[in-house]
Homo-oligomer: A and B are copies of this chain.
Amino acid sequence: MNKPSNDRQFRPVAVPDVELGGFWGKWQDAVCNSTAETLLDRCVEAGMLKAIDVDQPSPGVVIPIQPWGGTTQMFWDSDLGKSIETIAYSLYRRPNPKLEARADEIIDMYEKLQDEDGYLNAWFQRVEPNRRWTNLRDHHELYCAGHLMEAAVAYYQATGKRKLLDIMCRYADYMIKIFGHGEGQISGYCGHEEVELALVKLARVTDEKKYLDLSKYFIDERGTEPHFFTAEASRDGRDVSEYHQKTYEYAQAHQPVRAQTKVVGHAVRAMYLYSGMADIATEYKDDSLTAALETLWDDLTTKQMYITGGIGPAASNEGFTDYFDLPNDTAYAETCASVGLVFWASRMLGRGPDRRYADIMEQALYNGALPGLSTDGKTFFYDNPLESAGKHHRWKWHHCPCCPPNIARLVTSIGSYMYAVSDNEIAVHLYGESTARLKLANGAEVELEQTTNYPWEGAVAFTTRLEKPAKFALSLRIPDWAEGATLSVNGEMLDLNANMRDGYIRIDREWAAGDRVALYLPLALRPQYANPKVRQDAGRVALMRGPLVYCVETTDNGEDLNAIVLPRELSTAETVVLKDLNDAVALDLKVEREETSNWGTALYRNAPAERQVATARFVPYHLWDNRAPGEMLVWVQSDR
């Protein structure tokens, strides 16, 4: 906790600076071809444009206030924001004038909607104009603002158009006036975190420290006493004892953030808060925030995380419960929560490469977030169980459509999670076929070509393109699972053990055009066992290969997947490339299967089922339910 302060500052590269091919290129194509437009279509169908269009006399359909104190309509600005952000990223990859025009039209509507003072919120301007800033605890006002800010930054970077950016700067300037400890100011913060990390993006793109300061204010203020939510409820005539979520832990507002040691409450909120905290820790080199975050990181990843990087097992609070309580079939594990974990992990890398964070970022990305999108980009998972008896399938939409644009914007911006730069160092956190244009603070400019069929194969090659030789360090992550990894620079092998720091190999040298780094990460099949305190995984094993969690599905293996038993000594898996499933690598293994056909009619009997030798096909979990519907299982029975 009391490590010497760390002066390093890494920032993710801008999304337009990385061009993806291979694995991620395919996913980005799915978003460009389908999801980006689908998002807007669905928003329009829901009535969201009517709601923000001041040229329409009425905001259209109004969803009434629900028992929790608000309605999903209160977050419509966020849905539009995330959709515009996705469109922006998709425009980098593929210009689409029609889609850009639709986004421009929405931005025009927001321009007209914005109040003279800078305030902007469809619900509180069009539906409940007298309720502005009366219930920050429940009503997502700053959350909506945050998503519009992220959209503004992305849209500006994609198109060079400043309109939405200017709108959101005006709004942020207004916030700076009304939030604070001064006379007549609101000494508060939003019940759903998001604006904190958005203000950091706004600050970075505008180079305005005042937005960082506002973000830091919200973070520092959170959970302090006298409690803002209590005072606010009292001013608003609400009875705090009737708070639907029962505890301020729900919004991580039960304690000042630096005193928090346990990851609690609503999972997406928690991830967004910690993301904002990590950004502020990086920007201000705030060791007290970093120390709190490290404690929370360990708490989450050693006691509360599914092997998929799914988090928040309970539907009731869309969040956390007890330590080691990780039910597989009822797992909530919202797509947004894993997206949020990717956000948080990437920001923990702001103070320097460390595979503790990058390994989990990758795990959550491939296995927690990515399952939220179908291969064709048209359907979505909201919750992500690790076991299904056959009834869990992707949605075309959701009454609370937060997840579809969240996974879509992550997929389309994935380049900025792969590479980060400091003044004299390039960190490669994730591997994937891509070309990155990188500019270091020391002035060096380099184009880095990454050639690989990762995550299906373990060979990764980097080739540099530079106008003139430059001195900088290239740091490459060696995942903790990559036992036997090798690395060569221009054909010369490096001793990984001697050069490893925090799980990264740092190659500090003068680089010239055409330098070649070859990394090999062995993708051995890895049986994974859970801490025996996870009662739901007792006697079970999950299979991983590289960063990917695998599962069995009915379409490959028939029914009664729980009758599959993996032997203690696994056979060598035969790998099979599935042409009809994104060229995924499937694994065929010798297993035993409990016989169900000759069991008899009794439900219970004195002897266990007989077993037969069989072959089971395991496919990457993120690709499940893309073919025929059926059962699915991650944790299979294990002989021990």
Contact = CB atoms under 8 A, between A and B. Distances in A.
A302 interface: yes
Most buried by B among A302, A387, A535: A535
A303 B303 CA distance: 36
B599 A531 contact: yes
A548 to B, nearest CB: 14
Contacts of A639: 640
Most buried by B among A329, A530, A539, A540: A539
Given A302-B603, A526-B606, A594 B637 contact: no
Nearest to A611: B640
Interface string A519-545: 000000011111111110011111000
Contacts of A327: 329
Contacts of A565: 539, 640
Contact of A601 (B302, B325, B637): B302
Interface string A305-349: 101000000000000001001010110000000000000000000
A436 B143 CA distance: 73
A101 interface: no
* Copies, count: 2
Nearest to A637: B539
Nearest to A391: B322
A367 to B, nearest CB: 12
B562 A538 contact: yes
B325 A608 contact: no
Nearest to A593: B532
A608 B601 CA distance: 34
Given A322-B389, A608-B638, A603 B539 contact: no
A418 B607 CA distance: 30
A592 to B, nearest CB: 9
A529 B601 contact: no
A298 B594 CA distance: 23
A599 B389 contact: no
Given A533-B560, A533-B596, A606 B538 contact: no
B528 A606 contact: yes
Interface string A60-75: 0000000000000000
A563 interface: yes
B602 A302 contact: yes
Contact of A608 (B303, B329, B609, B640): B640
A389 B327 CA distance: 12
A315 B535 CA distance: 22
Interface string A266-301: 000000000000000000000000000000001001
A605 interface: yes
A225 interface: no
A595 interface: yes
Interface string A570-614: 000000000000000000000000111001011111111100000
Contacts of A542: 604
A275 B354 CA distance: 66
Contacts of A526: 606
A521 to B, nearest CB: 16
Given A322-B389, A538-B637, A562 B532 contact: yes
A303 B532 contact: no
Interface string A547-572: 00000000000001111010000000
Given A322-B389, A389-B325, A637-B539, A528 B605 contact: yes
B604 A529 contact: yes
A603 B560 contact: no
Given A325-B389, A535-B389, A539-B637, A301 B529 contact: no
Nearest to A604: B528
Given A562-B538, A637-B538, A639-B640, A595 B532 contact: yes
Contacts of A609: 529, 531-532
Contacts of A606: 526-529
Contacts of A595: 532
A529 B609 CA distance: 8
A595 B391 CA distance: 36
A529 B608 contact: yes
A531 B603 contact: yes
A479 to B, nearest CB: 14
Interface in A451-506: none
Contact of A534 (B527, B532, B601, B603): B603
Contacts of A534: 603
A307 B604 contact: yes
Nearest to A304: B603
A302 B604 CA distance: 8
A390 to B, nearest CB: 9
A608 to B, nearest CB: 4
Nearest to A327: B329
A606 B526 CA distance: 7
A603 B306 CA distance: 9
Given A302-B602, A529-B609, A532-B595, 13 more contacts: A298-B601, A303-B603, A529-B604, A531-B596, A531-B603, A535-B560, A538-B562, A539-B540, A539-B565, A539-B637, A542-B604, A608-B638, A608-B640
17 contacts: A303-B603, A307-B603, A389-B535, A527-B606, A529-B608, A531-B602, A531-B605, A531-B609, A532-B560, A532-B599, A532-B609, A538-B562, A538-B563, A538-B594, A539-B539, A608-B640, A639-B640
